[in-house]
């Protein structure tokens, strides 16, 4: 790939509806300061479950952002998606009108989700079983299919280039960034609205995660329940929400004097073909995704300053991720800083990679490496800089965002501090 000739892609807008903030300032400050959004479950009675801590989006009212009657017809995940996408466009344009960023025919949208339609079918089943098909609302279908979020975002924002949905488990929110990057580089569009949304805090899904024993059972102190890389870690805190970014071709952004948070320079994905849910013990998928992303970006491993880890606080994932980093970066791993922001946000499944892309772009923008919240004592032999205790100012030039999903799906996004090419 000729990195001198390809179209450059920058992030010019971001929007979040997250457990730790429904605006960028609150979202970033909570990550920087390590204020966890985890609390005891309120969405339903958690008493029967061994895990009772969740990262919920609190005090969210779709009526504050759009027509209440129309908005409340949408499933919760779609509500989060449409609002986060609108906030991202507002951040990029100050008006939330696609026409103010460019030709709607040259704007696309891509949304990542994994269980986004589950709520609709779950809620529709009791009516169907009791009263038959005539009791089912047509909105069950609209809300229940995987492509609904991207379609509703396109309708809401008048996006006419194309609208797609991507699902690769918990790698989805990172993979959509790679898709958006390629669409702009290939001159299919000038602007992409890309992100992920999820609303998985539902009793059957909650029970299924409890059965797999991947969620923390440290219910007595919810804010410290999720402890990435810590010796006392026992699983993640399930979260919900959405994060979207506006990616834009560089000259297009400069022509309208847009603010640039960071440049997106590479993406790599890999499949381990090893196990339905467990990662390969040698981290071969993570290593391959990193290798592909850096090659795509034209970046040497010695240039990487910071890694936003997948960091799920599960015994297997954290160990495998660290092993992969050390194997790929070799002696360079000693000077790297790597942290997980999930101790603040919880694990948002398909939306995780999206909000972590935003966290990584903000780290570059503010030149601050965020801490790993709740990390006090790392496992023996983990000699990487996992940024415990305090976030710190640092001149970040290149940063990676890592995500991994069930089925051995791995994804790595490479971002860079924007600098004009001489």
pLDDT tens-digit profile of 392-421? 999 999 999 999 999 999 999 999 999 987
Domains and CATH numbers, the chain: 10-255 (3.40.47.10), 265-416 (3.40.47.10)
**CB environment 343-380: b (16+ within 10 A), e (fewer):** bbbbbbbbbbbbbbbbbbbbbbbeebbbbbbbbeebee
Q: What does the alpha-carbon distance between residue 227 and residue 247 come to, in Å, rounded to a whole number? A: 32
Paired tokens of 371: 């801490």
13, pLDDT greater than 80: yes
The mean pLDDT value for 224-229 works out to 98
Q: How many CB atoms lie within 10 A of CB 44?
A: 13
225, pLDDT greater than 50: yes
pLDDT of residue 37: 98
pLDDT of residue 4: 53
327: exposed, middle or buried (C-beta count within 10 Å: 0-12, 13-18, 19+)? Answer: middle
30, pLDDT greater than 60: yes
Say which range, 129-133, 150-154, 333-337, has the weakest mean pLDDT. 129-133
205: exposed, middle or buried (C-beta count within 10 Å: 0-12, 13-18, 19+)? Answer: middle
pTM of the predicted model as reported, rounded to 2 decimal places: 0.96
The mean pLDDT value for 103-122 works out to 90
The residue among 307, 323, 312 whose CA lies nearest residue 413 is: 307
pLDDT tens-digit profile of 275-326? 988 999 999 999 999 999 999 999 999 999 999 999 999 999 999 999 999 9
pLDDT of residue 124: 74
pLDDT of residue 2: 46
Residues of the chain with pLDDT > 70: what percent?
Answer: 99
């Amino acid at each position: 790939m000729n990195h001198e000739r390809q179209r450059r892609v920058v992030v010019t807008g971001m929007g979040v509806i997250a457990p730790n903030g429904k605006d960028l300032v609150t979202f970033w400050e909570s990550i920087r300061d390590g204020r966890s959004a985890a609390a005891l479950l309120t969405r339903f009675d958690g008493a029967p479950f061994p895990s009772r801590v969740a990262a919920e989006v609190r005090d969210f009212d779709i009526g504050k952002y759009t027509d209440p009657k129309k908005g409340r017809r949408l499933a919760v995940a779609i509500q989060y998606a449409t609002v986060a996408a609108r906030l991202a466009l507002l951040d990029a344009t100050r008006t939330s009108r696609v026409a103010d960023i460019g030709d709607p025919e040259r704007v696309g949208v891509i949304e990542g989700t994994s269980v986004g339609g589950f709520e609709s079918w779950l809620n529709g089943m009791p009516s169907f079983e009791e009263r038959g098909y005539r009791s089912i609302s047509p909105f069950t279908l609209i809300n229940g299919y995987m492509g609904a979020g991207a379609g509703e975002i396109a309708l809401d924002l008048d996006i006419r280039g194309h609208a797609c949905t991507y699902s690769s488990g918990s790698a989805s929110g990172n993979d959509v960034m790679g898709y958006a990057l390629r669409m702009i580089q290939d001159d299919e569009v000038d602007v992409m609205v890309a992100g992920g949304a999820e609303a998985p805090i539902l009793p059957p899904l909650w029970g299924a995660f409890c059965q797999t024993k991947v969620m923390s059972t440290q219910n007595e102190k919810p804010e410290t329940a999720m402890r990435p890389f810590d010796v006392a870690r026992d699983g993640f805190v399930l979260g919900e929400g959405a994060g979207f970014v506006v990616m834009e071709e560089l000259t297009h952004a400069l022509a309208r004097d847009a603010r640039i948070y960071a440049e997106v320079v590479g993406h790599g994905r890999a499949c381990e073909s090893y196990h339905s849910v467990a990662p390969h013990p040698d981290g071969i998928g993570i290593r391959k995704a990193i290798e592909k992303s850096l090659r795509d970006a034209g970046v040497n491993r010695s240039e990487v300053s910071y890694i936003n880890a997948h960091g799920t606080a599960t015994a297997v994932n954290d160990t495998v991720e660290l092993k992969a980093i050390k194997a790929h970066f070799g002696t360079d791993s000693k000077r790297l800083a790597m942290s997980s922001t999930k101790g603040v946000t919880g694990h948002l499944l398909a939306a995780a990679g999206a909000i972590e892309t935003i966290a990584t772009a903000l780290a570059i923008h503010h030149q601050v490496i965020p801490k790993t919240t709740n990390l006090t004592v790392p496992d023996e032999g983990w000699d990487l800089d996992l940024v415990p205790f305090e976030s710190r100012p640092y001149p970040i030039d290149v940063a990676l965002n890592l995500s991994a999903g069930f089925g051995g799906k791995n994804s790595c996004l490479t971002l860079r501090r924007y600098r004009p090419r001489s």
